[in-house]
Amino acid sequence: MKKNFLLLLIGALMIAGKMERTFAQVVTGQQHTVRLFNGKNLDGWYTFIKDRGRDNDPQKVFKVENGVIHISGEEWGCITTNKEYKNYKLVVEYKWGDKTYGTRLGKARDNGVLFHSKGEDGAYSGIWMHSIECNVIEGGTGDFIVVGDKSNDFLLTSPVAAEKQNGSYIYQPGGDPVTVNSGRINWYGRDPEWKDEKDFRGKNDIENPVGEWNRLECIARGKELFIYLNGTLVNYAIHSKPDEGRIQIQSEGAEIFYRRVELTPLPAMPSYVPEGYSSLFNGRDLSGWKIHGTEKWYVDEGELVCESGPDRKYGYLSTAKAYKNFILDLDFKQEANGNSGVFVRSDIKGTAIAGWQVEVAPLNLHTGGVYESGAGGRGWLIQPAEENEKILKQGEWNHMRIRVTGDEITSWLNGVEMVHLKDAKFGAGKGFIALQIHSGGGIKVRWKDLHIKEL
């Protein structure tokens, strides 16, 4: 067990070093650090307290004393930035006080920093905006929590260990990616024997003892989120939704102090290719792809677009390389009609295709299902359950994952598993990946962030 943890720690530190070098390159002298806390008052923030609302804090749960934000924890609520932010490095320095209150009396000191906060104040449990949280809690600082509405408007994708920890995923560098729209993804060293009790310390904890200052760095770059605690990368998300919004700092039953809250804007970055993946689309042109048919395939503002042409026929865009076993991640948005699809292990002659399609179609037409095309093709092999047809957000960006290995294929849409198929004929298949535009005209679909991990 110790050996496995050591290897995991080394992997995390290697990634941390790599990421720190990356950000050293992009944070130039032209980047201006913004002091979100000026050391004097809470200008730039507003308070929100459960059952009291906005800017109504008679108990002084949030106050500034001696150049430090003092959060008593006596009532549940938060301070929230007036502005929204995107692409930044946020640095906060905090230390725990002694007091705990209410339902958290005698339990692990608990707080949090919430990013990409959207919507109404108090929408979550009457206290917080929907958001993505970096938990600040004894033994669990660095855990991600999706503080969402269980829709796919708020979600995270992270590489995780094969086995859950007490029912929750745990971040593991190089692990298989998983998408969640509720619940948590624990930091890599969280003690499996964690107890919800005051002064708990796990055997691998990086947080300093109570009363000592800690440095928490939260980096939001594009859709990614990186969490560093006292200089160590403890959690990482490949994909977050949303990727911009207000910042909240919680009061959740424990006394805590913040002496530094600073934000450094980061320049907009090209789409990041996750660890272990390669990009199928460079955002500039159709290099690595081949057009089949007369329908339109082009690049617009860094996105790949398929659009019906005057012939209103089937069209395909296939990879130049064949792929056998892989995980494919991509985003798509149906601007018109949206009848399209992703073919795997396919072969194309002209516009006659043979292979297996993961459907992309208008609402209630089985997006995520698997259809076999070509001579001897069996048509629909499996369709999503009826209750999963509503997972598609037509006219908005959707995230699809397809896993192809041996004789099995699995599809996910916006983090929800749509179908899983085990089929001997599929296992014998081979060929290219291809995007489809259906016949009939009037179709326009956008694609981006096409990443593949060969297995």
Residue 437 contacts residue 307 (beta carbons within 8 Å): yes
Q: Which of 217, 240, 265 is the last residue of a domain?
A: 265
Q: Which of 30-39, 126-135, 290-299 has the lowest mean pLDDT?
A: 30-39
For residues 252 and 290, membership in a common domain is answered with no
For residues 191 and 315, membership in a common domain is answered with no
Residue 341 pLDDT exceeds 70:
yes
Residue 398 and residue 172: Cα distance in Å, rounded? 25
CA Rg, the chain, in Å?
24
- In tens, the pLDDT along 99-145 reads 999 999 999 999 999 999 999 999 999 999 999 999 999 999 999 99
For the segment 174-182, the average pLDDT, to the nearest whole number, is 88
Contacts of 100 (CB under 8 A, 6+ apart): 73, 106, 107, 109, 198, 253, 254, 255
- pLDDT: is 34 or 283 the higher one? 34
Residue 79 binned pLDDT confidence (cut-offs 50, 70, 90)? very high
Give domain status of residue 24, yes or no.
no
CB atoms within 10 A of CB 119: 17
- pLDDT: is 284 or 267 the higher one? 284
Predicted confidence at residue 402, as pLDDT, reads 96
Q: Which of 16-30, 155-169, 198-212, 343-357 has the lowest mean pLDDT?
A: 16-30
Q: How far is CA 273 from CA 115, 283, 379, 399, in A?
A: 22, 12, 34, 15
Residue 447 and residue 305: Cα distance in Å, rounded? 6
Q: Which helix (H) or strand (E) holds 22?
A: helix 2-26
Give domain status of residue 134, yes or no.
yes
135, burial (CB in 10 Å: exposed 0-12, middle 13-18, buried 19+): buried
Residue 11 pLDDT exceeds 50:
no
Q: Residue 256 sits in a domain of what CATH number?
A: 2.60.120.560
What residue type is assigned to position 77 of the chain? Answer: G
Tokens (6 digits) for 62? 């949030």
For residues 254 and 296, membership in a common domain is answered with no
Contacts of 292 (CB under 8 A, 6+ apart): 315, 316, 317, 318, 348, 350, 351, 353, 434
Q: What is the DSSP letter of 209?
A: P
Residue 104 and residue 72: Cα distance in Å, rounded? 13
Tell me the residue ranges of DSSP E strands in 36-87. Answer: 45-49, 53-54, 62-65, 68-71, 77-81
Residue 450 pLDDT exceeds 60:
yes
Among residues 126, 104, 141, 107, which one has the least CA distance to residue 253? 104
Percent pLDDT > 70 in the chain is 92
Predicted confidence at residue 324, as pLDDT, reads 96
Predicted confidence at residue 6, as pLDDT, reads 40
Predicted confidence at residue 269, as pLDDT, reads 58
For residues 170 and 88, membership in a common domain is answered with yes
- In tens, the pLDDT along 202-233 reads 999 999 999 999 999 999 988 889 999 999 99
Q: Which of 209, 236, 265 is the last residue of a domain?
A: 265
Could you give phi then psi for residue 178, rounded to 5 degrees? -135, 145
Highest mean pLDDT among 14-23, 85-94, 393-402: 85-94
For the segment 41-58, the average pLDDT, to the nearest whole number, is 97
Total domains in the fold of the chain: 2
Predicted confidence at residue 283, as pLDDT, reads 85
Among residues 329, 158, 181, 319, which one has the least CA distance to residue 237? 158
Residue 171 binned pLDDT confidence (cut-offs 50, 70, 90)? very high
Give domain status of residue 8, yes or no.
no
Give domain status of residue 194, yes or no.
yes
For residues 207 and 183, membership in a common domain is answered with yes
Q: How far is CA 40 from CA 37, 56, 63, 67, in A?
A: 8, 19, 10, 6
Contacts of 177 (CB under 8 A, 6+ apart): 157, 158, 159, 160, 238, 274, 327, 329, 401
- Angle among Cα 65, 63, 132 to the nearest 5 degrees reads 120
For the segment 285-309, the average pLDDT, to the nearest whole number, is 92
- In tens, the pLDDT along 303-338 reads 999 999 889 999 999 999 999 999 999 999 999 888
Give domain status of residue 101, yes or no.
yes
CB atoms within 10 A of CB 46: 16
Look-up: residue for tokens 């809690």? 137
Predicted confidence at residue 167, as pLDDT, reads 93
For residues 381 and 239, membership in a common domain is answered with no
Predicted confidence at residue 273, as pLDDT, reads 74
Residue 303 and residue 283: Cα distance in Å, rounded? 6
Among residues 241, 223, 242, 228, which one has the least CA distance to residue 188? 228
- In tens, the pLDDT along 406-427 reads 999 999 998 889 999 999 999 9
Dihedral sign, Cα of residue 341, residue 346, residue 351, residue 352: negative
Could you give phi then psi for residue 11, rounded to 5 degrees? -60, -45
Residue 146 and residue 161: Cα distance in Å, rounded? 18
Residue 72 pLDDT exceeds 60:
yes
What is the residue-averaged pLDDT of the chain? 90
For residues 68 and 164, membership in a common domain is answered with yes
Predicted confidence at residue 222, as pLDDT, reads 83
For residues 134 and 236, membership in a common domain is answered with yes
Distance of CA 281 to the CA centre of its chain: 20
- Angle among Cα 210, 200, 60 to the nearest 5 degrees reads 50
Q: Which of 214, 239, 265 is the last residue of a domain?
A: 265
For residues 189 and 284, membership in a common domain is answered with no
Q: Which helix (H) or strand (E) holds 4?
A: helix 2-26
Residue 159 and residue 172: Cα distance in Å, rounded? 6
For residues 298 and 404, membership in a common domain is answered with yes
Residue 399 and residue 181: Cα distance in Å, rounded? 12
For the segment 6-30, the average pLDDT, to the nearest whole number, is 39
For residues 316 and 445, membership in a common domain is answered with yes
Residue 298 and residue 308: Cα distance in Å, rounded? 12
Residue 343 and residue 347: Cα distance in Å, rounded? 9
Among residues 156, 193, 209, which one has the least CA distance to residue 399? 156
Residue 384 structural domain: 278-454
What residue type is assigned to position 138 of the chain? Answer: E
For residues 181 and 219, membership in a common domain is answered with yes
Residue 342 contacts residue 400 (beta carbons within 8 Å): yes
